[in-house]
Homo-oligomer: A and B are copies of this chain.
Amino acid sequence: MEVPLKSTHIPRATIQRLAVYVQVLETLVQEGELVISSDGLARACGVNPSQIRKDLAYFGEFGVRGVGYYVQDLLLAIKQSLGINRTWNVALVGVGNLGRALLRHGVFRRRGFILVGAFDCDPFKIGEEVAGLEVVCSRRLKDKVAELDIEIGMITTPADRAQRAANYLIEAGIRGIVNFAPARISAPDNVFVEYVDFMHHIFSVAFNISLSQTKIPS
């Protein structure tokens, strides 16, 4: 019965919500808002106010009693807590439709995740330039990861190539993987894997629509 240190175990759900808070706080900064209460932020994020206060309490005390949170300060504090007040170099494996779109998508760079390498095993794609990057053979990942100081990999291959892409990344010494391919992958415990699964979101919507149509309206 290990008592998890407050700063050690943070619920996964909390991390997800912190990402939402970052999103909302950044728009608040743009709109010139200086202060926000947990109530106001809660409404904007669609969550319960005490949820927000509890989430923040895992990392420290960022608010001012009777006032609320200074938007800029809170944003910075959350970013520091998440380890995103710095830049991360990212490799993308699989230069298909989705890979290209992500390479060109500004949102990663804007948030400090810099796509510094694009990899594919298709000889027709190797050498091509996408979003200012030359597509490199996946086999050369190991060299490139070391050379470019890459810590995170993104997989955008077809499902049946996802594991191989993961293997290359793992072998190259990457620390974490974001997998956009519709397949589970296996990795050692010290490599963190996250799945971006479009399908589960669409399934969820479809399920809820079906459910609401099945239910007899009272």
Interface residues of A (CB under 8 A from B): 2, 5, 8, 12, 15-16, 18-20, 22-24, 27, 44-46, 82-84, 88, 90, 97-98, 100-102, 104-105, 107-108, 111, 113, 151-152, 159, 175-178, 182-184, 190, 192, 194-212, 214-215
Contacts and interface: CB of A to CB of B under 8 A. Distances in A.
A197 B197 CA distance: 10
B84 A206 contact: yes
A210 B82 CA distance: 8
Contacts of A183: 23, 27
Contact of A97 (B100, B159, B190): B100
The quantity of this chain's copies bound in the complex is 2
- Label chain A's interface by main secondary structure: helix
Contact of A203 (B8, B84, B97, B210): B84
B98 A23 contact: no
Q: Which 9 A-B pairs have the closest CB atoms?
A: A83-B210, A101-B101, A19-B200, A176-B205, A194-B201, A192-B208, A97-B101, A97-B104, A175-B209
